[in-house]
Each structure stands twice: as structure tokens, then as C-alpha cells.
């Protein structure tokens, strides 16, 4: 729970207000369009949006999707409820390995600034023996 007010109250104070912490949801999309959602205590629904070639067609698609959604999800399907957007690009395993390696190098440098040279740190992270 996230606390939004102090827990100690006097007669003139606003009562304690709490709200549930937002669940974390991770969406993974494969190059073939296959998607998986990872979360704890979250209801997830995938919607396949058809291609709309004009703005008017896009508005019609919005309305058709809204009508097709279960009632509990309809209240979410509005622009003000968007929490994140993304655009997928092809990712090779080499690019992923490079990214992880870069992150490990940065972590090693920031965690061990005083004891060894940057070259030694990079070598250690990459598993290079001298």
C-alpha cells in the first residue's frame, strides 16, 4: 500500500488515505507477433487492433473494439487511461547480449570506482583472463 497522508491524526486533520500499489506488468512480443504478459495479481486482456487506413476508419475501429470488450475493460479503453506506449523493432540476440554486456560494464565501473583500472573492470565483466 502507498500511504498518501500521515498516520497520526488530530481532530482537524484529514483521515489516512491509502491506495493499492500499481501492479507491474511486463509485455513481451516476439517477432512473429506472439505476446506474453507477466504480472502478479493483474487481469490482462490482449486486443488485436485491425488496420485502419483513414482517421474515420480508426474512429470506427475504436468504437467496435469498445463494444466488443468485456464490461470490466471498457472503462479502460480511453486515451486518458494509456499508461505506456511502445514501438517494436527487430532485435537480434547479438544486440541483446551487447546491451546486457554494456549494463554489466557500467555496474562494475560504478560499484568499484577506486580499486582497479577501467580496463581491468571491463576484462573482469567480459570474462577475459590476463
The angle subtended at Cα 43 by Cα 42 and Cα 46, nearest 5°, is: 125
| Cell output for 96 | 541483446
The answer, as to whether pTM is greater than 0.85, is no
H or E stretch at 19: strand 18-19
Average pLDDT of the chain to the nearest whole number: 81
Lowest mean pLDDT among 6-10, 24-28, 48-52, 79-83: 6-10
The CA–CA distances, whole Å, from 97 to 13, 91, 100 equal 54, 10, 5
**pLDDT at 7 (0 to 100):** 46
Over range 2-7, report the average pLDDT.
Answer: 43
- Please tell me the distance from the alpha carbon of residue 22 to that of residue 1, in angstroms, as a whole number: 9
Lowest mean pLDDT among 8-22, 41-55, 71-85: 8-22
Over range 103-114, report the average pLDDT.
Answer: 77
The angle subtended at Cα 43 by Cα 20 and Cα 57, nearest 5°, is: 115
Dmax (CA) of the chain: 70
**Quick check: 60 and 50 in contact, CB under 8 A?**
no
Over range 5-9, report the average pLDDT.
Answer: 45
Amino acid at each position: 500500500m502507498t500511504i498518501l497522508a500521515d498516520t497520526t491524526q488530530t481532530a482537524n486533520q484529514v483521515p489516512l488515505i491509502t491506495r493499492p500499489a500499481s501492479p507491474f506488468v511486463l509485455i513481451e512480443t516476439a517477432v512473429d507477433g506472439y505476446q506474453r504478459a507477466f504480472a502478479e495479481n493483474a487481469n490482462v486482456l490482449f486486443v488485436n487492433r485491425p488496420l485502419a487506413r483513414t482517421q474515420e476508419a480508426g474512429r470506427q475501429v475504436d468504437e467496435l473494439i469498445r463494444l466488443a470488450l468485456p464490461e470490466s475493460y471498457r472503462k479502460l479503453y480511453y486515451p486518458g487511461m494509456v499508461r505506456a506506449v511502445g514501438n517494436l523493432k527487430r532485435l537480434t540476440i547479438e544486440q541483446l547480449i551487447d546491451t546486457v554486456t554494456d549494463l554489466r560494464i557500467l555496474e562494475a565501473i560504478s560499484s568499484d570506482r577506486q580499486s582497479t583500472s577501467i580496463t581491468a573492470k571491463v576484462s573482469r565483466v567480459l570474462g577475459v583472463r590476463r
